[in-house]
């Protein structure tokens, strides 16, 4: 059973068990335009909710990605190094940024569900 | 990623057309302009491989009129170091508006029209963000010796790319007559259009100046050709950077001199010796002694864009230079940038290190332009 939640800053986190997969929404990739580089965190690094955890660079600008929850990085998407365009072509699947082990699953309650996020971007 | 507020921005004659074509509008130099339509990289490649249409109506079109060519040219030469007296009818020249300290107030193109009854007229295109400032300088410094008229409402569009000539040849005979940096009047489907073979992409192409009433019709006509797609400011920026072309306010400004900016070609050969333009003593001294800093092209390893403001550091981490423009170059396939560095580090092949978010990124000074210039000289 997995569940996807969103931040108001357009990150998503899809949680399975105690691990969440984080990326940016389709709306966000469309706003950014062509992604040319993703600066991902190191495996093992710890972040608090709201910390700057990654940077996504489009042709025009660099945008910070914030940790949607507190936790420890368990994996990063190595494919993005050669194929950053996956963030545009497949933001919610192949274009994920990193996986994070949650410190406190209760933090998910403060995030937007799919309907609330949809309302947020309209 | 806040939505752009466009209500206070000026609109070009093509504003509604951009929205119709799906342009994403942003504020630029006070205008609502399309940053992209389908995507920056797709538009960049479209321009390198076929042809694109850019709206550049935000730029400042000015006509300066005096009693004869020499009078008008000599008046402008007091402020600009280009050889303007030597312009032949129909020729255009890239030059600079300088201040008394040798700093660059703007970069611009001056055209001497070749049509009958145009003796004494020079046409200028200034940068959008500087045009009011520039015209104020012209009026203050030139007084009543020449008449300075602005055409801010007029349309200006750039058809750029290897297919641009084929497309334009369907409407007029100028592609077989105009050489790079030449211009002439023509008629396209009943519209009076002033066409120059010039641009800001490094590709062959044309800029078309047109009445605001005809701008939409001309733009739609050009884009109706299967070789042509609209392109926005994003692609314009990556194209010009790969083409080695400076952007005012970034790669040069009123504190930078033409020599360190690598723009000595904008100064007429005779005028480098004779002077007689604003800032000439300063500029001539730098030509003689050499600039202490120089603008260079740098290609970086990896894919991380090294953008404006990134510091160039030495082996001990001390700041020795700064990046003034930088992006991921789609045609080059690597991050490319312009940086100012000490003259001794400006040689081709010099290894440089830039800092991006605390990370060292290695690069090499490369020959400019990064991509070959495909200008057509007949």
Question: Cβ of B303 and A62 within 8 Å?
Answer: no
Partner A contacted by B234 (CB < 8 A): yes
**Is B357 touching A (CB cutoff 8 A)?**
yes
> How far does B301 lie from chain A, in Å, by closest CA?
12
At B175, phi and psi to the nearest 5? -55, -25
Q: Is the per-residue pLDDT at B106 higher than 60?
A: yes
Name the CATH superfamily, with its identifier, for domain B15-56+154-242: Probable tRNA modification gtpase trme; domain 1 (3.30.1360.120)
pLDDT grade, residue B5 (50/70/90)? low
Domain presence at residue A90? yes
pLDDT value at residue B8: 86
A78 assigned to some structural domain: yes
> Does this complex have an ipTM over 0.90?
no
| B293-366 fold | Elongation Factor Tu (Ef-tu); domain 3 (2.40.30)
Going by pLDDT thresholds of 50, 70 and 90, the confidence category of residue B345 is: very high
Strand order in the sheet with A35-39: A35-39, A52-58, A62-66
**Residue B328 touches chain A, beta carbons under 8 Å:** yes
In whole numbers, what is the pLDDT of chain B averaged over residues?
Answer: 96
Count how many domains chain A has: 1
Q: Which pLDDT does position B86 carry in this prediction?
A: 98
In a domain, A110, yes or no: no
pLDDT for B44 equals: 98
Tell me what pLDDT residue A2 has. Answer: 63
C-alpha distance from residue B283 to each of B5, B216, B273, B342 (Å): 42, 43, 10, 18
> What fold characterizes domain B58-151+257-291?
Alpha-Beta Plaits (3.30.70)
User: Which residues of chain A are under the pLDDT cut of 70?
Assistant: 1-2
Q: Is residue A89 part of a domain?
A: yes
Is residue B3's pLDDT more than 80?
no
Residues of B in contact with A33 (CB under 8 A): 35-36, 39-40, 234
Check CB contact under 8 Å for B41 and A59. Answer: yes
Question: Tell me: the pLDDT tens digits for B193-230?
Answer: 999 999 999 999 999 999 999 999 999 999 999 999 99
Q: Note down the domain range covering A30.
A: 2-104
Picking from B35, B42, B328, the nearest residue to A36 by CB comes out as B328
Q: Which residues of chain A have a CB within 8 Å of the CB of B237?
A: 60
- Residue A118 belongs to some domain of the structure: no
CATH code of residue A36: 2.40.50.100
| Closest by CA position to B216, among listed B9, B19, B373 | B19
Q: What does the domain layout of chain B look like in residue ranges?
A: 15-56+154-242, 58-151+257-291, 293-366
CB contact under 8 Å between A32 and B1, yes or no, is yes
Residues 145-184 of B with CB under 8 A from A: none
pLDDT digits (tens, 9 = 90+) for B232-287: 999 999 999 999 999 999 999 999 999 999 999 999 999 999 999 999 999 999 99
Over residues B108-118, the pLDDT tens digits come to: 999 999 999 99
Give the CA angle between residues A104, A106, A109 to the nearest 5°: 140
Q: Which residues of A touch B307 (CB under 8 A)?
A: 62
Contacts of B26 in chain A (CB under 8 A): none
Q: Is residue A87 part of a domain?
A: yes
Nearest-neighbour CA in chain A from B336: distance (Å):
12
């Amino acid at each position: 059973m997995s569940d996807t939640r969103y931040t108001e800053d357009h990150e998503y986190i899809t949680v399975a068990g105690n691990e969440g997969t984080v990326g940016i929404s389709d709306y966000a990739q469309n706003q950014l335009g062509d992604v040319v580089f993703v600066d991902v965190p190191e495996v093992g690094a710890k972040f608090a909710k709201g910390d700057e955890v990654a940077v996504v660079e489009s042709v025009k600008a660099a945008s910070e990605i914030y940790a949607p929850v507190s936790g420890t990085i368990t994996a990063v998407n190595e494919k993005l190094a050669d194929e950053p365009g996956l963030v545009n072509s497949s933001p919610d699947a192949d274009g994920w940024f990193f996986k994070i082990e949650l410190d406190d699953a209760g933090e998910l309650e403060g995030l937007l569900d799919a309907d609330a996020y949809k309302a947020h971007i309209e | 990623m806040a939505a752009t507020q466009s209500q206070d921005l000026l609109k070009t004659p093509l504003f509604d057309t951009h929205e119709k074509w799906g342009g994403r509008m942003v504020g630029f130099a006070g205008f609502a302009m399309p940053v992209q339509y389908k995507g920056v990289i797709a538009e960049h490649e479209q321009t390198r491989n076929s042809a694109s249409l850019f709206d550049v109506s935000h730029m400042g079109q000015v006509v300066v009129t005096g009693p004869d060519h020499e009078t008008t040219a000599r008046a402008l030469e007091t402020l600009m170091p280009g050889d303007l007296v030597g312009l032949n009818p129909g020729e255009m020249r890239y030059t600079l508006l300088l201040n008394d300290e040798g700093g660059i107030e703007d970069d611009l193109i001056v055209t001497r029209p070749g049509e009958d009854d145009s003796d004494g007229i020079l046409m200028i295109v200034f940068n959008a963000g500087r045009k009011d400032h520039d015209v104020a300088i012209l009026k203050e410094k030139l007084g009543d010796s020449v008449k300075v008229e602005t055409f801010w409402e007029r349309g200006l569009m750039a058809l750029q790319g290897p297919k641009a000539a084929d497309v334009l040849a369907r409407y007029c005979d100028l592609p077989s007559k105009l050489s790079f940096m030449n211009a002439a009047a023509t008629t396209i489907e009943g519209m009076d259009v002033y066409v120059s073979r010039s641009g800001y992409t490094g590709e062959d192409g044309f800029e078309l100046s047109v009445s605001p009433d005809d701008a939409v019709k001309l733009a739609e006509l050009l884009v109706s050709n299967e070789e042509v797609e609209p392109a926005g400011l994003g692609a314009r920026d990556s194209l010009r950077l790969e083409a080695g072309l400076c952007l005012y306010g970034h790669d040069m400004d009123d504190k930078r001199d033409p020599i360190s900016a690598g723009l000595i070609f904008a100064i007429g050969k005779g005028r480098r010796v004779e002077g007689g333009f604003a800032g000439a003593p300063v500029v001539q001294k730098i030509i003689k002694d050499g600039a202490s800093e120089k603008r260079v092209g740098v290609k970086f390893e990896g894919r991380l864009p090294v953008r404006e403001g990134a510091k160039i550091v030495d082996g001990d981490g001390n700041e020795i230079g700064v990046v003034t423009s930088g992006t991921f170059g789609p045609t080059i396939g690597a991050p490319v940038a312009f940086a100012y560095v000490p003259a001794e580090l400006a040689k081709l092949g010099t290894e440089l290190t830039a800092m991006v978010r605390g990370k060292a990124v290695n690069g090499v000074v490369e020959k400019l332009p990064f991509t070959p210039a495909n200008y057509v000289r007949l």
